[in-house]
A and B are shown apart, each in its own frame.
Chain A
C-alpha cells in the first residue's frame, strides 16, 4: 500500500460517509479505490465502519418492549423451515425410501406450540388485543395450511399406493385410485410464451372432451395435477397446449391421451 501522509480533508469526510453506507454508488466506488491505496484512509475506514455498524445495535428491541419485538409465532415458523430441511429421509424395512416426517406436520406442530407461546407472551406483555388478532390470523392460516397439506398427503398416498392404477406413457402417466385421478408428467418443457398446459377429461358415454385444470411444470419439468372429476366416471384423460387461461375445447393436438379402463 502507498503511504499518503496527509489525505485531503474532504477524502476523510467521504471515507466516513462511505463507512456509514450513505455514498451514492459512483462515489462509493471511488472511495473504495482510494482506500485500497491509502493506509491512513484504510485505517480511518476500519475505525469508523465498526462504529457505523454498531449504530444498528441501538435498534435492538428490549425484552420488556413487546410492541417492538417480533411475534412469538415467528420463531416456530423459521425453526419449522430449518428443522424440515435437516430431517433426513427414513428408510423402510424393504429399503424403499419414503419421505421423512413431512414438513407440514412439523410446521403444524410448531404452530400449535406457537399458539401456546403467543398466549404466554400476551400475559407477559399486556398486548392482549394484538396477540389475539395475530392468534386468530395464524389459526386461520394453520387451518388453511392443514387443509392444503391434507390434500397433498392424500395425493402422495394415492400416487404411491400399491392399489393405484397406472396408465404409463412415454412422458408421464395417469394414476387413478378410487374416485381420484392424477396426471403426473416429467421432462415437460415450459410452454411457449402466452401458452399453458391444459388437462381434459372425457366422461363415460360422452363424445366431447371436458376442459379441466391448466398447469405448468416446475423447474425440473415435473407437473402433478389432481383432476377434479370422479375417476370412476371418466373414460379418458388428455393434455394439450392451450392459450393462457385455458380453452373450452382443445385448440392443438394433445400431447397425452390416456384411455382409462
Chain B
C-alpha cells in the first residue's frame, strides 16, 4: 500500500539519482521504485493537460518507457522537475496531434548549472507547491497555469483573458518570481 506523499517524497527525491544510476544499468527494481514514486505526478500532469484518463495513461506509459529506454536524457538535478517537463512536452505533443518530437527539440536535459539550481527543490512536495500556487493572485496564477498546462502562447493567454499582451507577460514574471520566493522559503525552513 502506498504511503502519504510527504514522507515518501522526502525519501525518494534523495534517492532519484541513485535509482536512475541503477536504471541506466537496466535494473528493473530501481525502475519500479521510480515508478512508485513519480507515477502520480506524471499522470497528474498528463491528465491536467489532456483531460482524459486513457490518454493520460498512454502518456504516463510513454514517459516511463522513455525513462527506461533513454535514461541518459536525465543529467542529474531535480528528477521531479525533469520528468514533469518530459511529461508536459509529451502531453502537449498529443494535444497538438504530433506523434514524434525530434530529439533536437527536447529541452528536458538542462545544463549542469541549471540542474544544480533545480536540485535545491528536491524536497518540495506537491502540497507545498499547490499552496504556493494558490497563494498567488488569480491574475498571476491563471496565466501561469494556462501557459504551463494549456501549452498556449502568451498571445493566446492575452486573447483568452482579454488582457494586453504586455500585462500578461508582466503578470507571468511577477507570479513566477513570487512562486520562486515562496518555494525558496519552503526549502530553507
Which residues of A are in contact with B by a Cβ distance under 8 Å? 10, 12-17, 19-24, 46-63, 68-71, 74-75, 77-79, 81-83, 85-86
Contacts and interface: CB of A to CB of B under 8 A. Distances in A.
Nearest to B118: A50
Interface of B: 2-5, 26, 28, 31-32, 35-36, 39-41, 43-45, 47-48, 53, 56-57, 60-61, 64-65, 68, 78, 80-82, 84-85, 87-88, 107, 113-114, 117-118, 120-121, 124-126, 129-130, 133, 144-145, 147-149, 151-155, 157, 166, 169-170, 172-173, 176-177, 179-180, 183
B130 A12 contact: no
Contacts of B107: 21
Contact of A70 (B31, B43, B80, B148): B43
Query: What does DSSP make chain B's interface, helix, strand, loop or mixed?
Result: helix
B40 A60 contact: yes
Contacts of A59: 41, 44-45, 47-48, 126, 149
A82 B183 contact: no
Contacts of B85: 53, 56
Nearest to B49: A59
A79 B84 contact: no
Contact of B179 (A14, A51, A62): A51
A63 B43 CA distance: 12
B117 A24 contact: no
Contact of B84 (A47, A51, A56): A56
A23 B154 contact: yes
A130 B57 CA distance: 15
A56 B180 contact: no
A43 to B, nearest CB: 9
Nearest to A47: B180
A48 B120 CA distance: 13
A52 B132 CA distance: 12
Contacts of A85: 26, 68
Contacts of B126: 57-60, 62
Contacts of A22: 147-148, 152-154, 157, 172
Nearest to A32: B107
17 contacts: A13-B169, A13-B170, A13-B172, A22-B153, A23-B153, A46-B114, A47-B180, A48-B180, A49-B114, A50-B81, A53-B85, A58-B133, A59-B126, A61-B40, A71-B53, A74-B39, A75-B39
B84 A82 contact: no
Contact of B172 (A17, A58, A63, A74): A17
Contact of A24 (B87, B155, B180): B155
A151 B78 CA distance: 46
A47 to B, nearest CB: 5
